Structure 1
């Protein structure tokens, strides 16, 4: 509650979701801290930061929480009650008005909202900056196809080291802007724009899944497959199917369904040496290892190695983008499959994969080191394997993703049956299963 010593709280004219976020940041609170204060204020502890996030995303209205929010945020209740939902104001903020004065006023208020922190560190008015850029581009001209290709390439490279959760907002905003640019594209470039559109959608689907948003990821994979099919580019379409399949395995989606995605990818490439063929065969090897068909898994590994040997240099040298298939990917898959299947050469495969991992891919290096922990628990050294995994994950800290977490769960899953009910195993499972979007 406000006291005489409290400074006045700025309440810019914003939709309720944006206003809630602005007020929270002006108060210097994280979403988790706001949830804690709301719980303390109401005497209930059921609220989480994810629900606070849903309010600020405009996915749900706070409803009965509004009075408590007003108290915690230090504003009058009627200010929150009068604030419109984002959908009521989206058109006026997103679509340029024919009245230039009205448009300028809306933009001015949006920009000011980002610096109305009442003595708190100012927030960057990203929404207003995006609107301002749109106005400037009317004279300067919008992005050309080559510039959008460069943007997609940069996102592709960032996947190796940037937090997936941090990428989602930027990537989704750029994809929206790309859709608007594609509508104005010249007809003779339509196919190139469609191919790039499919690439952006593959990137977003993969990033959502990597951050733990499984449902949203599945929907975007379906859209990405359709977009790729519209291009008529069989290799790009195969990449969409194979990429979904490997991510789906880490998400525990049905093995049969993911193997069908692999089969479709291989039908599209007809086994020709290319990145999609190599990825599909590596995915098949992992799926079969999970299914317990170790002989067939090893056969798929050998087929992937044969395809790798036939790939052109520009693909095997590309260590960062979705178009490459370097040696470390081949060795990583071999290490994982040999580890899960208890192959006699598992330790050697782990050492070779570890030595080949590039420094710019810390999460890949962690995954290979987790293979060592899997081998330990699989061989009955359960306590040592779990402790080894904990130390490895502690080194990585919060810079994790779906693939690291799923590999970490294999450490407990591969322990002997009689060890599955041990307290150490149960505690480990609980410790490394993170909520959706936590990455």
Structure 2
């Protein structure tokens, strides 16, 4: 199979036009790719170079080796293309749902174990793989919602599912975050209600997307309970990022200080779960926040503290810190240097570990707005 044919098939599987694929690459990598380039690739008039192969690998969620090697391209399209380029097919989802209904589905304890596994795997899996797997879990848990405890499970799965969509699209991610909040309310569990809203707020605030929704969900979490918890911490830090991006630096700093106080009482010892906020992850939050505030010294201190304890098994978060440094360069007035630093960091990370959040950060660096 020619590489042009594969690019075309992967693009069409997502329902994208050639212009949309060019736009996805441009948004993620700060390039100026035009629709005609995509057309030339697909017609095999030209071959994408190494930089664009990495970019296509990331935005199309396909291993780089598949794009580079003709034999692997053929194997990919004949053996695993369906699993790699599309969500769980409708027949599989229907089967999962009916099986869960007929057999009673997993026990509450089994669901808790599944959540723990997803919380760990989220830290290293790509968005596409997570989305496919969680879609099936959501269909199954729907069949067991007579149990209030499983509304809590459903709400946390919905929150994870929402994270697989970019908050900047203004529709899918926000829809699922709101659904997750409603599901948490059905569970009637205060901790879950706060956590779901807080996790949504930090996700949107960190991405710099749907800031109004981030504020609303953070405010709801804080209104439900001010008891120190990871959910409250996420809510406060999400609201801090939203304030920084709006230019309200005073509010952002006050919220950051409040977040530090909550962390002192509720921080985690668990190091590698999305349900945890250990010291290194708190400093990842602070690193980006302080970079957005133009506080270079504070941002560097946070980056150094995060690097001390960041597990080596989580290279994606090391890339986050490098992108924060790129943002600092861009905001200091040297946008080309900041963008080059960020692109080099992204290129060093295996494409299958790229995340939507990293791509949004790269786009933010490309804008290079200086702090007020």
Could you tell me the TM-score, scaled by structure 2's length?
0.71
1:290 aligned to which of 238, 245, 254: 245
1:342 aligned to which of 294, 313, 320: 294
Deviation of 1:376 (Å): 1.6
> Is 1:33 aligned to 2:33, yes or no?
no
Deviation of 1:377 (Å): 2.0
> Is 1:145 aligned to 2:99, yes or no?
no
User: What pairs with 1:125-164 in structure 2 (closer than 5 Å)?
Assistant: 142-164=105-127
Query: CA separation in 2, counterparts of 1:197 and 1:135?
Result: 17
Deviation of 1:176 (Å): 0.8
Aligned position for 2:317? 364
User: What pairs with 1:51-66 in structure 2 (closer than 5 Å)?
Assistant: 51-54=12-15
Query: CA separation in 1, counterparts of 2:139 and 2:248?
Result: 43
Query: CA separation in 2, counterparts of 1:246 and 1:354?
Result: 21
Query: CA separation in 1, counterparts of 2:99 and 2:220?
Result: 45
Unmatched segments (≥5 aa) in structure 2: 17-74
Query: CA separation in 2, counterparts of 1:267 and 1:250?
Result: 21
1:207 aligned to which of 164, 173, 176: 164
User: What pairs with 1:70-109 in structure 2 (closer than 5 Å)?
Assistant: none
User: What pairs with 1:262-273 in structure 2 (closer than 5 Å)?
Assistant: 262-269=218-225, 271-273=226-228
Aligned position for 1:216? 172
Structure 1 residues 197 and 33 mapped into 2: Cα distance closer, same or farther (>3 Å)? same
1:378 aligned to which of 331, 336, 340: 331
Query: CA separation in 1, counterparts of 2:338 and 2:93?
Result: 49
Aligned position for 2:29? none
1:393 aligned to which of 331, 343, 346: 346
> Is 1:275 aligned to 2:230, yes or no?
yes
Deviation of 1:411 (Å): 2.0
Structure having greater relative contact order (Cα 8 Å, sep ≥ 6)? 2
Structure 1 residues 387 and 305 mapped into 2: Cα distance closer, same or farther (>3 Å)? same
Aligned residues: 304
**Contact map agreement 2:96 2:139 (CA 8 A) in 1:** no
Unmatched segments (≥5 aa) in structure 1: 1-27, 37-47, 56-116, 418-439
Question: What is the Cα-based RMSD across aligned positions, in Å?
Answer: 3.4
**Contact map agreement 1:377 1:383 (CA 8 A) in 2:** yes
The SS at the match of 2:124 is coil
Query: CA separation in 2, counterparts of 1:378 and 1:123?
Result: 41
Aligned position for 2:129? 166
Query: CA separation in 2, counterparts of 1:405 and 1:121?
Result: 29
Structure 1 residues 144 and 296 mapped into 2: Cα distance closer, same or farther (>3 Å)? same
Superposed CA deviations along residues 349-408 of structure 1, whole A, max 9, x for unmatched, are 222223232223222211111111122222223332222112111101422112212222
Aligned position for 2:183? 227
Query: CA separation in 1, counterparts of 2:169 and 2:288?
Result: 24
Structure 1 residues 141 and 278 mapped into 2: Cα distance closer, same or farther (>3 Å)? closer
Larger Rg: 1
Superposed CA deviations along residues 260-311 of structure 1, whole A, max 9, x for unmatched, are 2211111112x21101111111112211211222222122111111111112
Query: CA separation in 2, counterparts of 1:139 and 1:294?
Result: 55
Query: CA separation in 1, counterparts of 2:169 and 2:366?
Result: 23
Structure 1 residues 279 and 130 mapped into 2: Cα distance closer, same or farther (>3 Å)? closer
The SS at the match of 1:208 is coil
**Contact map agreement 2:205 2:214 (CA 8 A) in 1:** yes
**Contact map agreement 1:239 1:276 (CA 8 A) in 2:** yes
Aligned position for 2:41? none
Aligned position for 1:408? 362
**Contact map agreement 2:181 2:193 (CA 8 A) in 1:** yes
1:238 aligned to which of 191, 194, 198: 194
**Contact map agreement 1:235 1:268 (CA 8 A) in 2:** no
Query: CA separation in 2, counterparts of 1:252 and 1:138?
Result: 40
Deviation of 1:317 (Å): 0.8
Deviation of 1:235 (Å): 2.3
